[in-house]
Structure 1
Amino acid sequence: MIAPGKPIYVELPIRTNMEALWMHTQSPKLHREWDLRFSDIEYLPRRDGEARQRFLYRTRIGFGLSVSGTGVSRSYPAGPGEERLSTLRFGSEQPISLIREGGGYWRYKPEADGIVFITRYDYRTRFGEPGVLFDRLLFRPLFGWATAWSFDALRIWLERRIPPAATIRLALVHYISLLLLASLWFCQGLVPKLLFPDSGDAALLAATGWFPAGAERSWTAALGIAEIALAGLLLARHRDKRSYALQSLLLVVLTGAALIARPGLLSEPFGPLTLGAAMLGLGLVAAWTAGDLPSARRCRRHPRAR
């Protein structure tokens, strides 16, 4: 029998006041702005004297499909400077929903320079052991990452006044630029230098006069490996602007060497100058958008030891 996954836990300190954090998490209109897990949240009217808040939620999963469900929350606001708590039960009757039912809480813990925002929740799945296995291997890690990423998007909203919609657009621009840039470095290292060195790159290195005669192929292969390694560095250190400075320097050196060795390359429509300028532009865009990206790694993912 496959054991179910551990409960999802996320903790993040946010430099804000209690009222602002409470409003941005308890208002459905504001909540759905920053939380990747929900496309829509709608509160249902409360009955007379009812302390609990019933609500409907919906999450788009692509291809025109969505998963909807119902939930019940209860808030426990406290006085100034005291910890607050909000509990939650949720579930879905849709057959396509992996989550059958679950529950958890939000804690708001005041500290000297802000509020520590904490959540812990768990759920039961459908589809028997295949559902448990799919949840443990893929869905639960992705759901936990989405929770942590959303918490950091909320932090950026409250601390830096950047709305989540703008943050998401910046993230899309950053990752598209990054993937294109890394792909170009990888292809430039693999195809003309490792797979087809006789296509012209070895001859171009020989024309620079920087390398001993007869060693051009070895240096071409070494340069190809270095360019592939640079692609990996950009992906691994994409938040570090020094990575983009390094790739820009290498671009200038390689493009300049190619044009000095063969000035006729300037007349080619897709020559080194055109490619180098495009890669330099992608690097500038990726570096410019790297500063305010949410990161799930900023969150603590396990409870503190007592």
Structure 2
Amino acid sequence: MIAIAGVISGTVAVATEGSGNSRGEETIAQGPTPAPDGKGGTPPPPTPSAPGAPSAPGTPASAAPTGPVSPEIVHETETGGKTVALTIDDGPDPRWTPKVLELLKKSGIKATFCMIGPQAKARPDLVKQVVAEGHRLCDHSVDHNTAMDKRSEDYQKQQILDAKKMIEEAAGGGPGGTIRYYRAPGGAFTPYSRHLAADNGMRPLGWDVDTRDWQRPGVDRIMENIKRELPNGPIILFHDGGGDRTQSVEALARCIDWLKGEGYGFGFPKV
């Protein structure tokens, strides 16, 4: 989905490329991509509630998990029902993250921000703002290497745990700064990386709706992608880093309005 192009002045420069993984599942060399460990396939869509009925609010961002974290890739919200979870990848970015935060605040919606370690280290002010406004944090690795699943376990460990430390330090401590999730770049999970993440308190986080906003295809096309893929499940993927995100911000605003009009609530991915 996004590949690292280089590290410049303490921030990560990223370049877009096509991803061979459309839902954040483990990459299989041949044949269709199954769910983790070959269990099941496409998860069922969220169970609808009565039209127009309000959904239960999501768990507060500061709430800690009450038990062991599952290593299975999550494709559901905490509250279930007719809810979606907005996830924002590849930041924080000094130009686009504030615009996304402003939009979410105006809309009264919380999201999960999947941050690249060096980006978080370079902009601790934005990480702290994300936490202060009630959103959740997700580890998105150090270098955003979409071929992580082809690398050694030592490499995967370094990428995941070093990024976790960078993001936590940028957040400044406190329960709101806990990293709840790990999303592999381009969905390049492995059984090892999933269990490593879970052992460190992070639920592997997939996606069901790839907006393809990173391609900058136009806001209308992004909305078409959302409407087409929403039956796949409730986890929606947007970006606030990796380039010009003008279309991403505009599409996010339109997406929120459309989802509200369709009777959807908003929450966090299940931990």
Please say whether Structure 1 and Structure 2 have the same fold, judged by a TM-score greater than 0.5: no
Kindly indicate which of the two structures has a greater share of residues assigned to helix. 1
TM-score band, normalised by the shorter chain? Answer: under 0.3
TM normalised by structure 2 equals 0.22
TM normalised by structure 1 equals 0.20
